[in-house]
């Protein structure tokens, strides 16, 4: 019987592991893939984590992991297929075995949203990508588009402009929601063209991406841009499959939980991007992890 099982090993899960271990909880971290770190691993540069300006996302993810290992957290690579609330205990089912625990923390984060336009699925991996730092190198000296207007889209456009011949940043509104510092950096780049108020109708190409068809949302005019790569950065969706029917969520699928990360089901906690909250940043995920671990510890002591 564990005190705490943490599902997911991004910043929220790893922070929870450190705090829970230091609080003396008997815990296990279940991770779907061996490379821990969540979305942070795919971030080229993180510039807003306090005290670590410009840190490489991969290095940061690895440092978080090393810290959790150093305090003695146990990890197991296993995909969780279900969680059952049995009152004072919970069952966590993986493909191979079932674990019993007093509390469960879901730190499963979020996944890339899709544009849902023709050509996107068909050309996935053939020029359509959701990760500039993973796939940018394939588009060296080529022309690419980035779709979106949030932090990720701006960061991706800046990152790709370093190696690609030209980056066309397509955003559906006439102002970005991404950070001002990123906007300033972007506007200085000579090989970035910004198309505000444009929507993507379809991604063109037979076997490989050859272009995108756009509509100017102000004039209604349609045009085609020839290019070889499309980086979709239109936000994230919570990874909440395991929680459906188990805990309360909002209409977008984010789990409703307060500062202590406790859901409406006693003993079940959520931390990080999965939780309903105003800003989803690495620093707030780490903060959630700490709060959830402390709350889970208090719950175990009270049992």
Nearer to ligand NAP, 50 or 86 (CB): 50
256 contacts: CB under 8 Å, gap ≥ 6? 247, 248, 249, 250, 263, 264, 276
Pick from 243, 282, 286, 295: which binds ligand NAP (CB under 6 A)? Answer: 282
Q: Which stretch binds ligand NAP (CB under 6 A): 25-33, 126-134, 230-238, 255-263?
A: 230-238
Binding residue (CB under 6 A) for ligand NAP from 68, 225, 233, 296: 233
The three-state secondary structure class of 237 is strand
Using CB under 6 A, which residues numbered 105 to 164 contact ligand NAP? 115, 147-153, 155
The least CB distance from residue 184 to ligand NAP, in Å, is: 16
Q: Is 70 in the site for ligand NAP (CB under 6 A)?
A: no
Place of tokens 């815990």: 27
Beta-sheet strand order (sheet of 211-216): 198-204, 211-216, 222-226
**74 sits near ligand NAP (criterion: CB under 6 A):** no
By the rule CB under 6 A, 198 interacts with ligand NAP: no
For ligand NAP, the closer of residues 22 and 114 by Cβ is 114
**Angle at CA of residue 15, ends 158 and 45, nearest 5°:** 10
Q: Which of 134, 174, 248, 250 is catalytic?
A: 134
- Taking the least distance from each CB to ligand NAP, the nearer of 69 and 111 is 111
Q: Measured from the CB atom, is 48 or 301 closer to ligand NAP? A: 48
- Tokens 């440092």 belong to 63
CA dist 179 and 154 (Å) reads 8
Unique residue bearing structure tokens 């671990």: 293
For residues 108 and 239, the answer to whether their CB atoms sit within 8 Å is yes
Which residues belong to the active site? 131, 134-135
């Amino acid at each position: 019987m564990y005190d705490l099982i943490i599902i997911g090993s991004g910043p929220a899960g790893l922070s929870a592991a450190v705090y829970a271990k230091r609080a003396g909880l008997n815990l296990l971290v279940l991770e779907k893939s061996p490379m821990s770190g969540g979305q942070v691993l795919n971030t080229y540069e993180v510039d807003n984590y306090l005290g670590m300006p410009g840190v490489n996302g991969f290095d940061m993810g690895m440092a978080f992991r090393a810290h959790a290992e150093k305090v003695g957290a146990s990890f197991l690579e296993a995909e969780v297929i279900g969680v059952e609330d049995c009152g004072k205990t919970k069952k966590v089912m993986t493909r191979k075995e079932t674990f019993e625990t007093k509390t469960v923390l879901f730190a499963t984060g979020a996944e890339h949203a899709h544009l849902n336009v023709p050509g996107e699925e068909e050309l996935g991996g053939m020029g359509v990508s959701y990760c500039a730092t993973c796939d940018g190198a394939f588009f060296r000296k080529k022309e690419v588009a980035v779709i979106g207007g949030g932090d990720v889209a701006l960061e991706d456009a800046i990152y790709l402009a370093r190696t690609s011949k030209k980056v066309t940043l397509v955003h559906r509104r006439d102002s970005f929601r991404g950070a001002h510092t990123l906007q300033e950096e972007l506007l200085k780049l000579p090989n970035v063209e910004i198309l505000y108020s444009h929507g993507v109708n379809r991604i063109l190409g037979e076997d490989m991406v050859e272009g995108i068809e756009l509509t100017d949302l102000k004039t209604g005019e349609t045009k085609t841009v020839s290019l070889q790569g499309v980086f979709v950065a239109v936000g994230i969706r919570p990874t909440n499959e395991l929680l459906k029917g188990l805990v309360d969520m909002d209409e977008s699928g984010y789990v409703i939980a307060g500062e202590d990360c406790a859901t409406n089901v006693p003993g079940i906690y959520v931390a990080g991007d999965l939780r309903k909250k105003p800003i989803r940043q690495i620093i707030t995920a780490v903060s959630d992890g700490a709060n959830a671990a402390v709350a889970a510890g208090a719950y175990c002591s009270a049992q």
